[in-house]
Chains A and B, each alone.
Chain A
């Protein structure tokens, strides 16, 4: 009786931690789930900035944000697919298909027509993905793998394998223009993040995306029209690939059937580095943003401190695995 309550109260705050209060314990109690990624980003920024002060220059930051915008856009779409317990392997190839469609459309129907056709091409490919996955019940990995190969083939067929030049000069504005001090691609990506955030956190569609990803059978039995919302997921992913494809086409001011190779894999990496669960149901647009920032800052920073691009790939690969391992380790401890 006399020592039991004492012992209990000493152990209570953290039954697994050692009883001595130390910095170690304090550090461990911080809510790493919430502040972990921002902390890593700050650490990376400080590290790169210290070695090469140019990192902090306005020119560099502007450049990084513009470079990241394409990956950001397709990663937003990928977030929807992965959250719903699916995946979209086609987004990289869709960049090429959209680019070709956009350029040819622009030559035929003018600036606005080309942009619209580009985005629509993305949506349409997404619709095909969605119908194959939700209606024909083909696993998302297979359906979008097929689309990855086919969309590339279609882009090459439509373009004859050659770049499509002669696009109107005003089109440059999307990829190279500014809104105030901000590069337009970055503004487009930022707006896309906000819209995607609202979609996922404030709408029924978003809630159903999480529900399907967490437990599809339970979602069906809760009255969620899984077929409809799954199709919508891939249309959304295709739409963001469409927007990204148009921006990219403007940046290279031509339709290019070879754009976007392996970009789908980087978009998946961005989602999981941010802490999204590859099996669905866990993650979010904020986390994907973190993942995109880590990848973008890493490649820029490593360039600035003159690490060869070969070695950069090793680092990025390691980061993907480490990030997921840390997440798993944290979950196991709970």
Chain B
């Protein structure tokens, strides 16, 4: 298959790659751009380990054709915070046991970012609903919920009172 030149905007940077038109976004990220934070956990878009934000919406990179997202802002786990820093959601997952083996964590972080953008103070039911496309095999989800509550508190503390 002839390769095509793609321009992708990933984590705020413009990146150019030559790939087959049927290259899925996950392979483009992991193999062509070296962004291995997004994981492959299944064959059929069922695990959520590969989730990335595309214009703020969590999408499964394993079933997204890279060529279809040239005009979009793509954010992977590597782009959630500046190098050396942690987003409150990342900090929550690190401090509260939300990441055990860590393999599903990038997908959960992406799903959580999207959730908190919509609901800065989500209920347990909203959290359960928003994370239901992501599988974790380690935690039993309880410490993931605690991690999100930690992030919510952290973000609230950062927000100036007037803006709340």
Is chain B a partner of chain A in the same complex? no
